[in-house]
Chains A and B, each alone.
Chain A
Amino acid sequence: NAGVTQTPKFQVLKTGQSMTLQCAQDMNHNSMYWYRQDPGMGLRLIYYSASEGTTDKGEVPNGYNVSRLNKREFSLRLESAAPSQTSVYFCASSEVNSPLHFGNGTRLTVT
């Protein structure tokens, strides 16, 4: 059972470079989320998609864009990376009123 799969696992970018973090789930969940986690801190919501075709901003959306490609896939794009975006990024999926299932994270460093 794959669950939620994130790629890549690790990435190093230079300031100003762009990249897309990929996320796919095989649980047929309607909702998908992107969180970031900084050292010693909780998870902060960047964007979420309640269902296919919808996306909404979370707590910290600046500097990011998302695409809900289909029911399975939800990608996060950094158009011009900044050192402040160095973090661990987690994708998650769920049904309404059900627990979140997280991927294993992408560890991003921006130099």
Chain B
Amino acid sequence: GQSLEQPSEVTAVEGAIVQINCTYQTSGFYGLSWYQQHDGGAPTFLSYNALDGLEETGRFSSFLSRSDSYGYLLLQELQMKDSASYFCAVRDLGNNAGNMLTFGGGTRLMVKP
């Protein structure tokens, strides 16, 4: 089975940098993903790390350390529109070689002026 831990809430001010951590326990590991979800909306994909290190996509970066079963999402130059919930997720190949994702409980980010 899989389990993921992430903080339930983080608050930061506009223009700042915030880091959302995720630790996981898995029986098999095939990568760590991050999704963003605005209130009332659908989750949307942000980033994916299969190997150790940092992946950068604009203002967002994601880091993975497989030896520590740990990753984080880094958001720079925070904007009000970044207020949302952020979910980490691990991939499991499942019974039929599908693409199952197990999600963490989510971190609600509030950006203040």
A-to-B contact residues, CB < 8 Å? 31, 33, 35, 40-45, 48-51, 54, 56, 58-59, 90, 94-105
Contacts and interface: CB of A to CB of B under 8 A. Distances in A.
B29 interface: no
B96 A102 contact: no
Interface in B53-100: 87, 94-100
A59 B35 CA distance: 19
A94 B99 contact: yes
30 contacts: A31-B99, A33-B100, A35-B103, A41-B105, A41-B106, A42-B87, A43-B103, A48-B94, A49-B98, A50-B94, A50-B96, A50-B98, A50-B99, A56-B94, A56-B95, A56-B98, A90-B42, A94-B99, A96-B97, A96-B98, A96-B99, A97-B99, A99-B33, A99-B45, A100-B43, A100-B99, A101-B45, A102-B44, A104-B41, A104-B42
B102 interface: yes
- Secondary structure at chain B's binding surface: helix, strand, loop or mixed? loop
Interface residues of B, number: 24
Given A42-B103, A56-B94, A96-B97, 12 more contacts: A42-B4, A48-B94, A50-B97, A50-B99, A51-B98, A90-B42, A99-B48, A100-B35, A101-B45, A102-B42, A102-B43, A102-B44
A101 B35 CA distance: 10
A28 to B, nearest CB: 15
Contacts of A96: 97-99
